[in-house]
Amino acid sequence: MQDVNEIINLLKSHSKSDIELITKAFEFSQKAHEGQERFSREPYFIHPFEVAKDLANLQLDSKTIAAALLHDVCEDKSISEKTIKKEFGDETAFLVAGVTKLGQLKYHGAELQIENLRKMFLAMAKDIRVILIRLADRVHNMKTLQYVPEEKQKRIALETLEIYAPLANRLGMGKFKGQLEDLAFQYVYPEEYKKIKEMIKGKYEEKEKDLIKVKYGIEKELRENDIKYFHIDSRVKHLYSLFKKLQRPEINMNIDIVYDLIALRIIVKTIEDCYKVLGIIHKMWKPIPGKIKDYIATPKPNGYQSLHTTVFATGGKITEIQIRTEQMHEEAEYGIAAHWAYAESGKPREGGRFNPRLSWVNQLIEWQKGTKASKDFLETLRIDFFKDRVFCFTPKGDVIDLPEGATTIDFAYSIHSDIGNHASGAIVNNKFVSLDTVMKNGDIIEIQTQKNKKPSAEWLERAKTSLAKKQIRAAMKESGLFKRIIK
């Protein structure tokens, strides 16, 4: 039997009004779903209850948790948005309406899928909490996918793998991303899933035994070096993430050279302690060249921060170690949800504006306004936002975030259209290169320009991002070149 206190007790802080709102939403939803069942034959109310628990665990505000409890009550039309507004207020009703609208569109073809994506991002632009509820909703639905009719399973799983998991990743929500990918993996790629499961038999147990000695050695050294607060645990690599890694040419399905099946994670108090611990570990064991990554100084585009190193540990066992602060760990697990702090009034402290990490969402919406064709929108989405990212630097040290495979011409247009339109060449890491050079993580890039230089048809082939292509076409159209090419 579900108990509202299971939700309330997950919250680190709550007021009397928070408890009253959540309790009222709990009772209202429970009554609204009375007699309804899921495919699993379980009472339907279990679903909104579990979604609300997930969001309470993320420490979201009471209105979001109430909306999670109520997010399906309007589906059968017997309860109106007007009723929700009257009973729970404008803000909760707005969130419920946002989630309801997103849920009404079913994925029966590309056009509907694209339209749903558009609505998702527009909803996100208004309030990110709508998407957080939707992601938690998808996680719980995927946990019970085995009860859904077989003909629907692969479609829902594919949608999860291609849309929801990458979205969770872009929001920095590592925990949701990993769950969604692993839950979808077995339905989208059943044979590959079985193969990976077979490959890892006994591997995790073997690695865990090795890590016991490594962990003991680190604990001893940290205490001797006056690191007063630390916590060491391990992170098991998600199956889908392992599957993708095994497909890399340098790995070539050889699981014996995947060194991060289980990684040790050291959590400390301060950034200074992070670097101090890294030094201690490198004094203990020799690091593998090229395997030291400083995501604290240069965070990933989704905000992820941590130090990663891979060392020849006790007995020559190759081990990956991650070092981060408590705050970095919280953000790595929960991403944007960890930043979505609310005042007691329930209004965002930032006045509803995006955290800077979400600038890519605003950018996508701006591009969408000028994109009439659904096909073009989906191409933009796939190329520019759901692909792996690379980050490069301007000579002044500004970070430019672009999709993997982007060239220096994309880099030029990402700075300014005038720089792109007059680009004549580039200097990458102090070497002159052409404008079709593919960028790599950490490249320092300077774009050279000439006043008389103009975009050409070749540039459209060199450019990979929709922004660059759009601006190249605009410049060519203005000069009359685009018309001549069409003729």
Query: Does the residue 369 lie in any domain?
Result: no
- Verify that 30 and 167 share a domain, yes or no: yes
Domain count within the chain:
3
- Verify that 295 and 430 share a domain, yes or no: no
Query: Does the residue 348 lie in any domain?
Result: no
Q: pLDDT 10s digit of each residue in the chain, 487 long? A: 788 999 999 888 888 999 999 999 999 999 999 999 898 899 999 999 999 999 999 888 999 999 999 999 887 667 888 999 999 999 999 999 888 877 665 555 566 566 677 777 777 767 888 889 999 999 999 999 999 998 889 989 988 988 889 888 888 888 899 999 999 999 999 999 999 999 888 888 888 888 888 999 999 999 999 998 999 998 888 999 999 988 888 888 888 888 888 889 999 999 999 999 999 999 999 999 989 999 999 888 778 899 999 999 987 889 999 999 999 998 888 887 776 543 333 333 333 344 555 666 766 666 666 665 666 776 777 677 776 778 788 888 777 888 889 999 999 999 999 999 999 999 999 999 998 999 988 889 999 999 888 888 888 888 999 889 989 998 888 876 555 444 4
**Which CATH number fits the domain that encloses residue 254?**
3.30.460.10
- Verify that 314 and 248 share a domain, yes or no: yes
Cα torsion angle, 116, 139, 352, 402, sign: negative
d(Cα 245, Cα 393) in Å, to the nearest integer?
26
**Which residues make Cβ contacts (< 8 Å) with residue 296, sequence separation at least 6?**
271, 274, 305, 306, 307, 324, 328
The residue with tokens 């590959």 is 192
- Do the Cβ atoms of 446 and 439 come closer than 8 Å? no
pLDDT value of position 342: 34
- Do the Cβ atoms of 402 and 392 come closer than 8 Å? yes
d(Cα 366, Cα 241) in Å, to the nearest integer?
32
- Do the Cβ atoms of 174 and 333 come closer than 8 Å? yes
d(Cα 213, Cα 48) in Å, to the nearest integer?
44
- Verify that 326 and 432 share a domain, yes or no: no
Mark which of 292, 307, 334 sits at the end of a domain: 334
| pTM exceeds 0.75 | yes
- Verify that 209 and 274 share a domain, yes or no: yes
Mark which of 334, 366, 400 sits at the end of a domain: 334
**Which residues make Cβ contacts (< 8 Å) with residue 118, sequence separation at least 6?**
368, 377
pLDDT value of position 349: 37
Mark which of 183, 214, 242 sits at the end of a domain: 183
**Which CATH number fits the domain that encloses residue 141?**
1.10.3210.10
Residues in the chain: 487
- Do the Cβ atoms of 315 and 210 come closer than 8 Å? yes
Task: Find the domain containing 427 and state its range.
Answer: 387-486
Query: Does the residue 175 lie in any domain?
Result: yes
- Verify that 130 and 165 share a domain, yes or no: yes
What's at 342, amino acid-wise?
Answer: Y
Give catalytic residues, as residue numbers: 75-76
- Do the Cβ atoms of 322 and 299 come closer than 8 Å? no
**Which CATH number fits the domain that encloses residue 442?**
3.10.20.30
- Verify that 142 and 291 share a domain, yes or no: no
Q: Residue 56, Cα to own-chain centre: how many angstroms?
A: 19
Query: Does the residue 18 lie in any domain?
Result: yes
pLDDT value of position 392: 84
Query: Does the residue 451 lie in any domain?
Result: yes
d(Cα 92, Cα 104) in Å, to the nearest integer?
18
Query: Does the residue 375 lie in any domain?
Result: no
Question: What is the CB neighbour count within 10 angstroms for residue 171?
Answer: 26
pLDDT value of position 351: 33
